[in-house]
Structure 1
Amino acid sequence: MSEIKLISLPYQSSMVDLFAHYRDLPLPILLDSNHKSFNDTRYDLLVADPIAMISAKHEETKLIWRDTPIYEMGNHQNPLDTLDELMSYTVQEPWAIKAQKDIPFTGGLVGYYGYESGHYVEALPQSCIDDIDLPDLLVGLYGWALITDHQKLETYLMLTPWCIDEQNELLERFKPSEPVEATSFQLDKRFTSNMTQEEYAEKFAKVQDYIQAGDCYQVNLAQRFSAPYKGDSYQAYKVLTDAVPTPFSAYIELGAGAAILSHSPERFLKCNDGRIESKPIKGTRPRGATPIEDKALAEELLTAEKDRAENLMIVDLLRNDLGRSCSTGSVKVPKLFALESYANVHHLVSTVEGRIEEPQEHIKVFNQSFPGGSITGAPKIRAMEIIDELEPHVRSAYCGSITYFSSNGQMDSSITIRTMVADGQHIHCWAGGGLVADSKCEEEYQETFTKVGKLTHTLEQGFLEK
């Protein structure tokens, strides 16, 4: 076979249960759009058993091939160089050059960039405690995918020539009507923060000192919530999927009980037909208890000068990031200060876009723009230095990205807010907010609980040991 093969399958309105039939394979990943509630997402994507895996931790890069290497490659110390070279090779395959442009994934890279992957982009300090034994970055090179198109109501298996021999096995696993026996999940204790309210106030004051001194305009300060657990975190993911539907949900199985459970509402970068798009979120209000209260909170957010100024600051940062690698003169802002509403919060969202000329350039734009400015602050590098100084622990997958880079030039990626990391013993989640000169400490502190509360309360109510 010299071309990509598409095999039609029964339409799956959700792949959440189907994922159980493939999760015993190496590095299974489910990109789950929760499509019913959102207009901005269209596809679900399920991959597993990559041809190669690229991981990085503390500046050590590992490249592991499943079988024989497709080609020889130098031992790069920077994993972003390794990923760039793998993508450049993939898009030059004859079948990739001929691949359809109207499907999201035709073979390529899928995985996560943790927040600390920013150290491979810029020279930054790392003095906070790293107590989560997971890679900074873990990405697989995949040659097949199960894809659901919720607009066309279609599900199909995409096979590249790399994986044509696996067709029968993959189809045999496709048994959506057959349940898989589940292992239970249990929290041993409630979630607790890695800083007290007094410690948060001290760190808030230090950020204000930096702002007044002219070091920065904004810093995203986050606290981490953790709880010990036992069992299968995928059961927790399934419950959260129902409780917190979001357009950029994802589950990544990492082995040894470790996993990433993401329910993010925020896109980082998307690429379709050479058009790069980013949708930064800045500005948050809780949902109201009644329709009248809910509408009032939404209108308050839309007219809040502080939130609009904060959003505009990040839009300018992203315009600068995209301008480094997109075509000259192509960067624009088609939407500014739009309201988007989710299960637990209203958000203020803008859209920034640019253009690229060649399909492999999508990963270059991504790498040069990482991490997203909406979860660092401005200017970005100085804000990241302050975050490292003030936050006690590494962010791990939080405020990084879950992404795919397809050989046909398509790309989509989230910013991993509202994201949990299970390391086999503890499950962690984070929440933060962008602090500016007129921020109020109590309001910012409470906002972190608003953002993360639906996740933690759902697990505590459903899985806390009685």
Structure 2
Amino acid sequence: MPCIFSASVSSRDLPALLHHLARTYHADLLLCGPLAPAAAPRTERSIAGIAPVRELELHTDTPREHLHDFCFTPCATAVSGTIGYLNYTGGLARYGLRSDKPENRPDNRPDNWPDNKPDNWPDNWPDDRPENSPNGRSDQKPENWPEDTPESKPADRQKDLPEGLFRQYAIQLIISPAQEPCSPPHSVDGTAGTDTGNHTARHDSRHDSGHDYGHDKGHGKEHVLECHTAEILPDSLYGKQSAALLDELKALCTGEVPPDPIPAHVAPLSRDALSRRLRQSLDRKGYVRRVERVLEHIRDGDTYQLNLSTRFDADLSGTGFDPLTFFMHMWDQHPAPFYAWLSHGSTRIISTSPERFLCVRDGQVLSQPIKGTLEFESFTEGMEKALTASPKESAELSMIVDLIRNDIAACCEYGSVQVSAHKETFTVDRLIQMYSDVRGTLRSGSTCLDLLLDAFPGGSVTGCPKQRTMRIIEKEEPHSRGLYCGSVVFIEDPQNMDSSIAIRTGWYDSITKALCFFSGSGIVLDSNPESEYRETLAKAGKFLRALAP
């Protein structure tokens, strides 16, 4: 894929450029967060896909070979990198399970959904306002496809997200931080240098304020932007000659024509208004009751650990809510390694995940499961040690690490799977999180896509043993997870890929004006039901604060 131009973009100018690309060119965005140099998990690149020319929807009966061909067969009209996602619910079929729960039907809520705000609504939230393709077949889209908005296609309205969706584009922008001689070295898989000792806290020095670290606007750090295009471009894109569009993009990226500033995010609701418009699939009483039932399953030997989630639905009709401005605000104020902005029909996907699922770099495999959480308002020394010393949190992580080792072993060389770091910590979303590095070498004859599909869904969001635990989840959770706990992925070639676990994730329907998002916690034998519910609120906190500070 030829690089037709490159440019230097400062961190000060980057958010407005990305916002302009998504607003004007309907770009899909995969954004890394500006974490501290030693922070991990980390990614080094942001990606914008412009003018999708090929799309593949996955369904239960889509052969795996169709996805392989789509991702790895060269196509002169598309850049080789593929952006996509896998829906958690679609992953049930691999384990002989299915879900009949509707995903995007806010009017079909269970009768027992509460009419009031969530229990334990925090009183100390600070004011953080800165002021359809046929089954298994890829279709060539018309030149103006991104401009053909879902609002003009009634047949596509309010459909559930497909089990998987993959796209290739005529134009792709790759944005990487400029190399700084003084910055710590990083390995190709995105982990920090050689600092892999156990219990090493990797965090930003600003976290002791109790706030997430936003973009360092005062320093204009440089990023390198490269624009890649397909070998063969259509004559026109977005109603313009392709050459003229590329000139327009170049002028924007080089700063010759500055992009429009991002509108200031204004929270759409007051706290009282949100309490009237917000629904949970499991309120405090319901969640605690489900945790108690899961503990019975654990004592009976049905499962050892289970990730139990709740769904939030916010009615934002009449508020003027802008999902793209909301997404950019979240990225600015609550950075994390795996942000994603994707569109499908009337749905706008907003993923703000801190967790890597699987990364493959030249055949070297890395998974970084997160288990273990400690919420803080004001950081103090010793908090990380309190987390890593907790028997409960340590048990959560260790069980999932064993599961991940087994999940990736089927596609890795015999004897290559190892845990290179265990019980590491980093801070994100006002939480200290614990994680491990599980590594392996991709087996000859296997591709990164084989690895992704065989290990999906990620063990950190199911529990173990996986099949029996997923069956219990389907019984105990009244909602469908949909994309939540699935995976967002960027695939380059058979030996190179990066993917997230789609936690801290939701989606907005531009027809119903409803935003849904989810949070969950890992349940083990010594879990306290009330504490687990409070953890779900802490993980949903950045969404709730941005809606109503």
1:119 pairs, out of 73, 92, 95, with 92
CA distance in 2 between partners of 1:267 and 1:360 (Å): 20
The Cα RMSD (Å) is 2.7
- Please say if residues 265 and 326 of structure 2, whose CA atoms lie closer than 8 Å, have aligned partners that are also in contact: no
Contact persistence 2:77–2:170 (CA under 8 A): no
* Matched residue, 1:71: none
Q: What is aligned with 2:433?
A: 347
Shift of 1:408: 6.9
Question: For residue 349 of structure 1, what is the amino acid of its counterpart?
Answer: Y
CA shift in 2, pair 1:94/1:334, >3 Å: farther
Note if contact 2:411-2:443 (Cα within 8 Å) is conserved in structure 1.
no
Contact 2:297 2:303 in 1 (8 A): yes
2:9 match: secondary structure? coil
Distance 1:305 1:229 in 2: 41
Q: Which residue of 2 aligns with 1:170?
A: 246
> Residue 394 in 1 paired to residue 392 in 2?
no
Alignment partners' CA distance in 1, 2:422 and 2:528: 24
CA distance, structure 2, for counterparts of residue 216 and residue 181 of structure 1: 47
Shifted more, 187-196 versus 131-140: the winner is: 187-196
Letter in structure 2 aligned against 1:78 = T
In the TM superposition, residue 82 of structure 1 has moved relative to its aligned partner by 2.1
CA apart distance, 1:83: 1.3
Query: CA 1:169/1:121 → structure 2, altered by over 3 Å: closer, same or farther?
Result: farther
- 1:199-348 aligned at under 5 Å gives the runs 199-230=286-317, 231-256=321-346, 258-289=347-378, 291=379, 294-348=380-434
Shift of 1:129: 3.7
8 Å contact from structure 2 (residues 53, 77) kept in 1:
no
Q: Output the TM-score relative to the length of structure 1.
A: 0.84
Instruction: Note the 1:144-159 alignment, pairs <5 A.
Output: 144-152=171-179, 153-159=223-229
Give the letter for the 1:193 counterpart.
Answer: Q
Q: Deviations over 1:155-202 (max 9, x none)?
A: 110223144864542341342512078698835734332122221122
Kindly state the Cα deviation for residue 95 of structure 1 after the two structures are TM-superposed: 12
- 1:196 maps to which residue? 283
The answer to whether the 8 Å contact 2:397/2:423 transfers is yes
| 2:158 equivalent to 1:139 | no
Q: Conserved in 1, the CA contact under 8 Å of 2:47 and 2:175? A: yes
Name the counterpart of 1:51. 53
Flag structure 1 segments of 5+ consecutive residues without an equivalent. 60-76, 97-105, 462-466
Q: Which amino acid aligns with 1:320?
A: N
Distance 2:53 2:77 in 1: 17
Structure 1: distance between partners of 2:165 and 2:264 = 25
3-state DSSP class of the match of 1:50? strand
> For 1:234-258, what per-residue CA distance to the aligned partner results, in whole angstroms no more than 9, with x for missing partners?
01111212221111111112343x2
| SS, match of residue 72 in structure 2 | helix
User: Are 1:82 and 2:66 counterparts?
Assistant: yes
Q: In structure 2, what is the equivalent of residue 103 of structure 1?
A: none
- Structure 2: runs of 5 or more not aligned: 106-159, 180-222, 236-241
Question: What's the secondary structure of 1:203's corresponding residue?
Answer: helix
8 Å CA contact 1:56–1:136 kept in 2: the answer is: yes
DSSP 3-state at the match of 2:542 = helix
Total equivalences in the alignment? 426
Is residue 174–residue 226 contact of structure 2 (8 Å, CA) maintained in 1?
yes
Q: Which residue of 1 aligns with 2:112?
A: none
SS of the aligned residue for 1:437 comes to: coil
CA distance in 1, matches of 2:475, 2:507: 22
The one-letter amino acid of 1:243's match is Q
Provide TM-score, normalisation by structure 2: 0.72
Give the drift of 1:48.
2.4
Q: CA deviation at 1:6?
A: 4.6
Letter paired with 2:474: D
